């Protein structure tokens, strides 16, 4: 799906930030990225609006009201809208005083409003925009179904179906992101979940029955793997890495930048699984590329971390014994859910049959002691420590904790209240727990800070 973003030059940064908060399947048409050198600017813009895009998003501020280019683009969009016979132009107001001075041809429309330029507000607009486009595209698809087969071919309905599928995937991502705090031990009712979706994600459904029908549809498309629901309750039974990696990206980057400051050349570091840890890997690869890090020993059980590091080292021309960095992979059975390795005995059954740390310790004979470990956590184990949902990865996490001089625990703020069944670390272990701040999780952050204060661990909230 392609979206044309019409905006004044003042709002380029907003548009680029908004890009991060809508599904990757939606491609934003932005002037400096799309125009070719030597192209006829007006002809290219008109073609993009009238032929190449599925929606026209108008960002309204005082400068856009005065822009001749924006007025031309609005005219093209309105003409395209008439051709479609469907809504095509969707306004976003980023300057509340500018709406009264906007183009009179659109002033009677419903619009999305940006409250402020915080990441949380931009994310809310991104969620609302995704939801609105999903609704309009669904309406278009329903209308197309009443057209004769010959007309359907001429209208390139295959492209419409593709766009509808992309937005459906985006809606599934919203559902799963809102479900993160709710597990089998604390499911949420469909009534309460519907209210949460409408409040946080601007998903507009009238009744729990409507929500159930949508969930059934998403499930039939295999887009809700790891989600369990019935007519009354819904919860997340399994967290797949594939969709966790797209959640709370700005917060995870802030956490990674803070924690990665502890890494110095010549260190041995350990990398656990999880999307927050992968953000640390991104920092490491950038610093390797710029020559700011070298001589690292990196121990990990996380396949994406090893792959990204090895790809960077290969690009830099490193050899097997190059001292830029060496990557040591903890072996065992691979888990498709978390993309990590776990002790081999779990392939035989549910109980850990032998102590795997003997094999882990062999790595330390080559690397030396671990200077700093970066460990992901899925939530709390009671009020005394951190845990995971199952025992599969506990042995690696615990080994990292016991064999590291410093232990950074990376938890996005949505995890601070999630109960877990299996402990891997105690607050008496001297953990350095890092999270990011969001207004939505302020209360949970404050509660967690009070819990940590009398313990041997520390708690850092980065902004």
Q: Is the pLDDT of residue 68 over 80?
A: yes
Q: What is the mean pLDDT of the chain?
A: 84
Instruction: Return the structure tokens found at 81.
Output: 């809208």
Nearest to 182 by CA among 224, 217, 233: 233
What are 111-138's pLDDT values in tens digits?
999 988 888 888 888 878 887 787 776 6
Distance CA 108, CA 87 (A): 13
Residue 139: in which H helix or E strand, if any?
A: helix 119-144
Over residues 446-463, mean pLDDT: 94
Cβ distance 125 to 144 under 8 Å? no
Provide the CB-side half-sphere exposure for 94 (13 A, CA).
26
371 φ/ψ angles, rounded to the nearest 5 degrees: -75, -45
* Surface-to-core class of residue 12, CB atoms within 10 Å of its CB (0-12 exposed, 13-18 middle, 19+ buried): middle
Over residues 211-235, mean pLDDT: 85
Q: At what angle do helices 357-367 and 394-402 cross, to 10 degrees?
A: 40
For the chain, what percentages of helix, strand and coil (3-state, to nearest 5) are there? Answer: 50, 20, 35
404 φ/ψ angles, rounded to the nearest 5 degrees: -115, 140
Helices (H), ranges, 261-375 = 275-289, 303-315, 357-367
Cβ distance 403 to 429 under 8 Å? no
Angle at Cα 245 formed by Cα 256 and Cα 289, nearest 5°?
A: 50
> Who wins on pLDDT, 163 or 303?
303
Q: What sign has the CA pseudo-torsion 21, 98, 88, 175? A: positive
Kindly indicate the confidence band of residue 198, based on its pLDDT and cuts at 50, 70 and 90: confident
Q: What is the pLDDT of residue 368?
A: 93
Distance CA 53, CA 29 (A): 8
Kindly indicate the confidence band of residue 418, based on its pLDDT and cuts at 50, 70 and 90: confident
Angle at Cα 119 formed by Cα 6 and Cα 432, nearest 5°?
A: 155
Over residues 434-451, mean pLDDT: 89
Distances (CA, A) of 372 to 31, 287, 296, 432: 44, 17, 11, 11
Distance CA 49, CA 29 (A): 9
Kindly indicate the confidence band of residue 312, based on its pLDDT and cuts at 50, 70 and 90: very high
Query: Domain 172-238, CATH 3.40.50 — does that match?
Result: no
Residue 423: in which H helix or E strand, if any?
A: strand 422-426
Q: What is the pLDDT of residue 250?
A: 80
Over residues 315-324, mean pLDDT: 81
Distance CA 442, CA 233 (A): 26
Q: What percent of the chain stands above pLDDT 70? A: 85
Q: What is the pLDDT of residue 18?
A: 87
Q: What is the pLDDT of residue 155?
A: 42
Over residues 209-232, mean pLDDT: 85
Q: Do domains 2-144 and 172-238 have the same CATH topology?
A: no
Q: What is the pLDDT of residue 447?
A: 94
Kindly list the domain boundaries of the chain, sorted by start residue: 2-144, 172-238, 249-462
Distance CA 385, CA 387 (A): 7
Query: Helix (H, G, I), strand (E, B), or coil: what is residue 174?
Result: helix
> Who wins on pLDDT, 68 or 440?
68
Cβ distance 437 to 411 under 8 Å? no
Q: What is the pLDDT of residue 148?
A: 44
Q: Is the pLDDT of residue 61 over 80?
A: yes
Q: What percent of the chain stands above pLDDT 90? A: 41
Over residues 399-421, mean pLDDT: 91
Q: Is the pLDDT of residue 233 over 70?
A: yes
Q: What is the pLDDT of residue 157?
A: 45
Nearest to 256 by CA among 234, 284, 230, 236: 284
Q: What is the pLDDT of residue 247?
A: 64
Q: What is the pLDDT of residue 412?
A: 87
Query: Domain 249-462, CATH 3.30.420.40 — does that match?
Result: no
Instruction: Return the structure tokens found at 392.
Output: 């599969």
**Residues in contact with 12: Cβ distance below 8 Å, sequence separation at least 6, in sequence order:** 30
Q: What is the pLDDT of residue 244?
A: 62
CATH number of 2-144: 3.40.50.10140
**Residues in contact with 43: Cβ distance below 8 Å, sequence separation at least 6, in sequence order:** none
What are 140-184's pLDDT values in tens digits?
655 544 444 444 344 444 444 444 555 566 677 778 778 877 878
Q: What is the pLDDT of residue 149?
A: 44
Angle at Cα 92 formed by Cα 90 and Cα 97, nearest 5°?
A: 130
What are 260-289's pLDDT values in tens digits?
999 999 999 999 998 899 999 999 999 999
Nearest to 5 by CA among 68, 66, 54: 54
> Who wins on pLDDT, 86 or 296?
296
**Residues in contact with 244: Cβ distance below 8 Å, sequence separation at least 6, in sequence order:** 274, 275
Q: What is the pLDDT of residue 34?
A: 52
What are 350-366's pLDDT values in tens digits?
555 678 888 899 999 99
């Amino acid at each position: 799906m392609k979206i044309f973003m019409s905006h004044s030059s003042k709002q380029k940064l907003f548009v680029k930030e908004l890009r991060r908060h809508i599904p990757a399947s939606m491609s934003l048409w932005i002037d400096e990225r799309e125009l070719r050198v030597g192209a006829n600017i007006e002809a290219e813009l008109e073609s993009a609006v009238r032929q190449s895009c599925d929606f026209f998003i108008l960002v309204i501020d005082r400068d856009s009201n005065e822009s001749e280019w924006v007025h031309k683009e609005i005219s093209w969009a309105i003409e395209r809208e008439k051709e479609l016979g469907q809504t095509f132009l969707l306004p976003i107001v980023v300057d509340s005083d500018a709406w009264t001075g906007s183009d009179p041809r659109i002033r009677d429309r419903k619009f999305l409003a940006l409250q402020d330029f915080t990441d949380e507000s931009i994310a809310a607009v991104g969620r609302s925009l995704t939801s609105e486009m999903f609704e309009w595209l669904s309406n278009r698809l329903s209308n197309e179904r009443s057209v004769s087969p010959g007309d359907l071919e001429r209208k390139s309905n295959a492209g419409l179906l593709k766009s509808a599928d992309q937005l459906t995937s985006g809606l599934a991502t919203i559902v799963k992101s809102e479900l993160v705090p709710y597990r089998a031990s604390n499911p949420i009712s469909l009534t309460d979940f519907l209210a949460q979706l409408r409040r946080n994600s601007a998903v507009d459904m009238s009744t729990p029955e409507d929500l159930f029908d949508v969930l059934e549809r998403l499930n039939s498309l295999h887009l809700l793997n790891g989600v369990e629901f019935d007519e009354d309750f819904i919860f997340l039974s399994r967290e797949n890495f594939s969709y966790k990696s797209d959640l709370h990206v700005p917060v995870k980057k802030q956490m990674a930048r803070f924690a990665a400051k502890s890494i110095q050349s010549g260190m041995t570091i350990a990398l656990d699984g999880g999307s927050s840890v992968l953000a640390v890997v991104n920092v490491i690869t950038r610093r390797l590329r710029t020559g700011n890090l070298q001589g690292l020993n990196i121990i990990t059980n996380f396949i994406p971390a090893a792959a990204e590091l090895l790809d960077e080292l290969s690009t830099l021309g490193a050899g097997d014994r190059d001292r830029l960095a060496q990557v040591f992979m903890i072996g065992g059975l691979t888990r498709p859910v978390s993309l990590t390795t776990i002790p081999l005995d779990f392939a035989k059954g549910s109980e850990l049959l032998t102590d795997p740390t003997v094999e882990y310790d062999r790595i330390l004979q080559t690397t030396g002691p671990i200077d700093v470990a970066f460990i992901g956590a899925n939530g709390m184990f009671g009020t005394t420590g951190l845990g995971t949902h199952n025992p599969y990865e506990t042995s690696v996490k615990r080994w990292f904790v016991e064999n590291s001089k410093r232990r950074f625990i990376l938890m996005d703020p949505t995890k601070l209240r999630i109960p877990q069944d299996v402990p891997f670390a105690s607050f008496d272990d001297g953990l350095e727990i890092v999270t990011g701040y969001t207004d939505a999780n302020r209360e949970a952050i404050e509660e967690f800070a009070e819990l940590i204060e009398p313990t041997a661990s520390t708690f850092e909230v980065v902004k």
